[in-house]
Amino acid sequence: MAVSGFEGFEKRLELQFSSDNNSTEPIGIGLREIDFESVEQVLHLVQCSVVSALGNQHFDSYVLSESSLFIYPTKIIIKTCGTTQLLKSVHPFILLAQSLVNLRVTSIRYTRGSFIFPLAQPHPHTNFHEEVLYLEDNIPETLCYRKASVIPSKLTCHSWHVFSADSDHHHIDMPLYTTVEVCMTDLDPTLARKFFRFPNDGKNGDSAGKEMTGITGINRINPNAKICDFAFDPCGYSMNGLDGHRYSTIHVTPEDGFSYASFECVVDSIQNNDDDIMADMVKKAVKVFGPRTVSVATTSATTETCMRINAVLEKQVGMKCRSYSMDDFPAAGTVVFQTFTTRRNNNNNNNRI
């Protein structure tokens, strides 16, 4: 049996919480009160660990051995790559929120792309059906509005998997955000080599990561962001960017044959110029890696956001939109999934799960 390479495509989980109905206590810093030891115990179940951390007045950010974790007062976002068992964090995080800070979960969203090496994934990630069954068994019955869907693409190896669940009293006065998840494959080899370290370079992961952030231009994607970065040995890179209450994150698997990079960011849906800001950040991120194929999943998006992303990738990056699909989900809102390729792309479209 052929040995699989490293799985770059992340699994992403977002948990939204609110005060218990009978609680009159202010939330304050909420989930940020959860002690680091408890967080580490959950990550141990997922099979990853914290390699670097940074926080501000709005949220705590952790770079993981496999991707990232963000903890807000009422929200947890965790994404992990490789063969991690991300969904094993669902029930423990819900219990921690209830027992330590008296918060109950009000909505859940799980997303991922199509794995490059699906046969290497352990339970419960062997396929999307198993993932949905696991989620159904590990979330409270109060999340009664549920939907699971695979949003297809004309490129048969690229699909977007979404599971969303919401309670019947989801707060409509929550801040509205647009989240963009960008998955890039077949990176330009010259650009990908910048994410390899020289043997015995005398640097640690933090210093090597800071150097990669500078030489690749990642620090110019959002100049306002404070960056927490880490370079792995012998190759690979992760960063979290903190810009007020908004985050961004990048993860890179640069090896030939299964090279992959992801970029994710969130902006305020109600801000007039944030569509332009988001489209510009996506353009800059794609140019850092020079991929042959790009998948973009935009959640709670306006039509204008998708049009701007489409325009900058086609006109300024020289890519062609090959597919455009959308679906609606409880709590999550509308998800638009687009795939782009370089005009000379001749990728083999092997089926993925």
Sign of the CA dihedral with 193 first, then 287, 64, and 183 last:
negative
pLDDT in tens, 166-211: 986 444 444 467 899 999 999 999 999 999 999 989 999 999 999 9
pLDDT at residue 100 in the model: 86
What is the spatial distance between Cα 220 and Cα 223, in angstroms, rounded to a whole number?
A: 5
- Tell me the Ramachandran region of residue 211: left when phi exceeds 0, alpha when psi lies from -120 to 50, beta otherwise: alpha
Sign of the CA dihedral with 183 first, then 185, 191, and 196 last:
positive
Q: Are 145 and 330 in contact (CB under 8 A)?
A: yes
**Catalytic one among 7, 131, 181, 264?**
7
pLDDT at residue 81 in the model: 95
**Catalytic one among 67, 153, 167, 248?**
67
pLDDT at residue 334 in the model: 87
Residue 80 — very low, low, confident or very high, per pLDDT cuts 50/70/90? very high
What is the spatial distance between Cα 188 and Cα 200, in angstroms, rounded to a whole number?
A: 25
Q: What is the pTM of this model?
A: 0.92
Mean local confidence (pLDDT), 92-105? 93
pLDDT at residue 177 in the model: 79
**Catalytic one among 251, 255, 264, 300?**
251
Tell me if residue 304 is catalytic: no
pLDDT at residue 337 in the model: 92
Tell me if residue 66 is catalytic: no
State the helix-helix crossing angle for 274-289 and 303-311, rounded to 10 degrees. Answer: 40
What is the spatial distance between Cα 236 and Cα 72, in angstroms, rounded to a whole number?
A: 27
Structure tokens at 261: 């990079």
Tell me if residue 40 is catalytic: no
Structure tokens at 294: 């790009």
Pick the residue with more confidence: 277 or 229? 229
Mean local confidence (pLDDT), 46-75? 96
**Catalytic one among 48, 81, 228, 306?**
81
Residue in the block written with tokens 């992990």:
80
In the chain, the percentage of residues whose pLDDT exceeds 90 is 69
**Catalytic one among 159, 238, 295, 300?**
238
Structure tokens at 319: 């890519």
Q: Where are the domains of the chain?
A: 11-342
Tell me if residue 65 is catalytic: no
Residue 269 — very low, low, confident or very high, per pLDDT cuts 50/70/90? low
Tell me if residue 37 is catalytic: no
Residue range 11-342, CATH number: 3.60.90.10
Mean confidence (pLDDT) of the chain: 89
Look at residue 219 and give its three-state secondary structure.
Answer: helix
